[in-house]
Amino acid sequence: MASAALIPKPVRVVNKPAAFPLDHHTAIFTEMGRDTFTGVGLFLSQEIQKTQNLAIPVNPDSSTDLFRGIYLIQTPGMEQEQYELAISSDSILLRSATAEGAFRGVQTLRQLIPHISNDTLAEYPVWVIPGGTIQDEPTFEYRGGMLDVARHFFDISDVKKYLDIMAYYKMNYLHLHLTDDQGWRIEITSWPKLTEIGGQTEVGGEAGGYYTQEAYKELVAYAGDRYITIVPEVDMPGHTNAASVSYPFLNGNGKTPKPYTGMRVGFSTLDTRKDTVYQFIDDVVREISALTPGPYFHIGGDESHATPKAEYEYFIKRVVPIVRKHGKIPMGWDEVGTVSLDADVVAQYWQQDKANVARAAEQGMKILMSPAKKAYLDMSYDSISKFGLHWAAYIPVDSAYTWSPETYSSEIPRAAILGVEAPLWSETISTIEELEYLAFPRLLGYAELGWTPPAERSWEDYKMRLIRQTPYFKRLDIQFYPSQRVPWMEADSLLPWHNNRTK
Ligand code: TNX
C-alpha cells in the first residue's frame, strides 16, 4: 500500500501483509437512510463499473453470494474532509464524519484498484487491493483549478471531464472565469444581449458560445456530485469589452465598442460613477448567485489599467457590498488588496509584485495562492512548447511542483492562506486536447501541493507516482504533455500485474 501510486500522497499510510480481493462477490454498504453517503457509495460503484467492468451492488437486499463488503461508516468527531481507510482481506472500512470525507476516501480507494485497459479485462476477474490503513486529511481547505471559458469557450462536456479529473485528485473548487473582453459566457435573463451579442465572439474571431442558466445549473450539480464547488467570476471593472459591446452605456465613453478578438489586456473599463452600472452589476450578481450554492463570488478586479486608481477603489468598494448582499463572500485578484476592505474579502495572489498581497494580508484578508511564476497552467512548459504564454515564466513539470504555497512569500503568514489554485487562461488554446496539453500533468502537482503536508512532498517520490497515472490518463483519453523531466518509459514495468504477466 505504501508503494501505491497515490496522488495526492496521503498523510499517513501503514502497510499490512494482506489484500482485499475485489470481485463480483463484493458489495458496498453505506449508512442506511443517509442519502449522501449512499450517493458516494453509488459513485464508487459506477466508477468501478466503468474502470473494472465489474458490477458492485450498493446496499443489496439479499446477500447470498456476497462474501465481502466495502463499508462507508459515518464517524462523528472527524474533520470535514478527513477520512480513514482500513483495508483487510475480508473488508474495507471507510470512516468519515461527512459524505464529503467519504468521497475523498473513495478517490484513494479508486487509485488503489489496479487500472487495466479494456482488452485485458477478461483476464482479471479479481482485482487485488493492497491491505493497510490510511489516515488522511487536506492541508488546505481550498484546492482549486480555474478555467478561462471567456477567451475561448469550452462547452459543458469539456468542463465535466475536467471536473472528473479534479475529483479523482481530491480538488474541491473550480473557478470559472465567465466574462472577459472577448466574450460573455453566462446567460443573464435580465440583460439578454450579454450572451446574444457578447457571447458570440472569442480570441481569433471564431464563434464563441455561452452557458444557458440551465447548462450552468447542470455544471454546478455535476460538480456538486463530486464535492467540487463552483466559483463564478465576472471580471470588472476592466476586462469588460464584451459587456460594453452588448450594452454600450456601461463604458461611459459614449461609444459603442467593437467586439474584441485579440489578446491584449487592460484597455476596457466600466463607468464607475453611473448608478445604472451598479444596477446592472446587482442583477448579474443576483442571478448568478441564485444559481450558485458555493460561498464565493469572484469579482475579478485585475489589470484595470483603463480605470483611474481612485475610481477603481470607489468601484470595488461599491461592488463588494453587492456581493455580500446576495449572500456571497467576495473574492478578487490581488489588486483588490490595495483597496481598504473588510477582512471577509479573499485576495487571489497572481502577480510577482508582492505589494498587493502584502496589503491584503495586513488587512486580515485570506489569500488564495496562484502565483503566475509557479501556478499558471497557461505558462508554456519550455521554449518549444506548442501552446501557452511565457510572460511570467516557463513552467516545466518539476518547477510547477517544487514550491511551497506555505512559504512562497514572506509577506503572507501561513494562517492567512486559504489554499492553492491553478488558473488556466485560454488565449492560446481552443480545444479540449490543447487544454489538456497545458493542464496535464501539471494539475496533479497542484492537487498534491494543496492536500499533502510539506514534509511529505518530494519531487523524486512524486514523479514516480506521476508516471503510474498513465493508465488512468489513457482510459480517460487525456492528451497530457509527456515531459522529458518525467521518466514515463518506466511506467509499464511498475504496473502491479507486470511481474506475473504471461503472454
Ligand atoms: C494575466 S492573471 C491576466 C489574464 C491573462 C493572463 C495570461 C490575471 C488576473 N490577468 O487576463 O489571461 O495574464 O497569462
Active site residues: 303
Q: Which cell numbers in the block locate residue 416?
A: 492567512
Q: What is the pLDDT of residues 448-478, one digit of tens each?
A: 999 999 999 999 999 999 999 999 999 999 9
**Of 175, 176, 299, 303, which is best to mutate to test ligand 1, by the most ligand atoms within 8 angstroms of its C-beta?**
303
Q: Which cell numbers in the block locate residue 99?
A: 459524505
**Of 265, 304, 333, 424, which is best to mutate to test ligand 1, by the most ligand atoms within 8 angstroms of its C-beta?**
265
Q: Please give the model's pTM, rounded to 2 decimal places.
A: 0.96
Q: What HEC string does 237-298 produce?
A: CCCCHHHHHHCHHHHCCCCCCCCCCCCCCCCCCCCCCCHHHHHHHHHHHHHHHHHCCCCEEE
pLDDT in tens, the chain (503 residues): 877 899 999 999 999 999 999 998 999 999 777 789 999 999 999 999 999 889 999 999 876 777 899 999 999 999 999 999 999 999 999 999 999 999 999 999 999 998 764 555 566 578 999 999 999 999 999 999 999 999 999 999 999 999 999 999 999 999 999 999 999 999 999 999 999 999 999 999 999 999 999 999 999 999 999 999 999 999 999 999 999 999 999 999 999 999 999 999 999 999 999 999 999 999 999 999 999 999 999 999 999 999 999 999 999 999 999 999 999 999 999 999 999 999 999 999 999 789 999 999 999 999 999 999 999 999 999 999 989 999 999 999 999 999 999 999 999 999 999 999 999 999 999 999 999 999 999 999 999 999 999 999 999 999 999 999 999 999 999 999 999 999 997 655 555 444 433 33
3-state helix, strand, coil in the chain (%, to 5): 35, 20, 45
Report residue 466 CA to chain centroid gap: 18
CA-CA-CA-CA torsion sign (300, 302, 304, 308): positive
Q: Tell whether ligand 1 has an atom less than 6 A from the beta carbon of residue 393.
A: no
Q: What is the pLDDT of residue 491?
A: 55
Rounded to a whole number of angstroms, the CA Rg of the chain reads 24
Q: Tell whether ligand 1 has an atom less than 6 A from the beta carbon of residue 184.
A: no
Q: What is the pLDDT of residue 497?
A: 45
> Do 453 and 477 contact (CB within 8 A), yes or no?
no
How far does the centroid of ligand 1 lie from the alpha carbon of residue 172, in Å? 22
Return left, alpha or beta for 209; rule: phi > 0 is left, psi -120 to 50 is alpha, else beta.
left
Q: Which cell numbers in the block locate residue 54?
A: 465489474
Atom of ligand 1 nearest to the CA of 350: 2
Q: Which cell numbers in the block locate residue 377?
A: 497552467
Q: Which cell numbers in the block locate residue 490?
A: 518506466
Report residue 202 CA to chain centroid gap: 23
Atom of ligand 1 nearest to the CA of 351: 2
**Of 240, 263, 302, 435, which is best to mutate to test ligand 1, by the most ligand atoms within 8 angstroms of its C-beta?**
302
Euclidean distance between CA atoms 105 and 107, whole angstroms: 5
Q: Tell whether ligand 1 has an atom less than 6 A from the beta carbon of residue 303.
A: yes
Q: Tell whether ligand 1 has an atom less than 6 A from the beta carbon of residue 350.
A: yes
Q: What is the pLDDT of residues 237-268, one digit of tens each?
A: 999 999 999 999 999 999 999 999 999 999 99
- Residue whose CA is closest, atom 6 of ligand 1? 425
Q: Tell whether ligand 1 has an atom less than 6 A from the beta carbon of residue 202.
A: no
> Do 269 and 240 contact (CB within 8 A), yes or no?
yes
Q: What is the pLDDT of residue 66?
A: 79
CA-CA-CA-CA torsion sign (391, 335, 425, 407): positive
Element (H, E) at 85: strand 83-87
Q: What is the pLDDT of residue 114?
A: 85
Q: What is the pLDDT of residue 34?
A: 73
How far does the centroid of ligand 1 lie from the alpha carbon of residue 92, in Å? 45
Q: Tell whether ligand 1 has an atom less than 6 A from the beta carbon of residue 333.
A: yes
How far does the centroid of ligand 1 lie from the alpha carbon of residue 425, in Å? 7
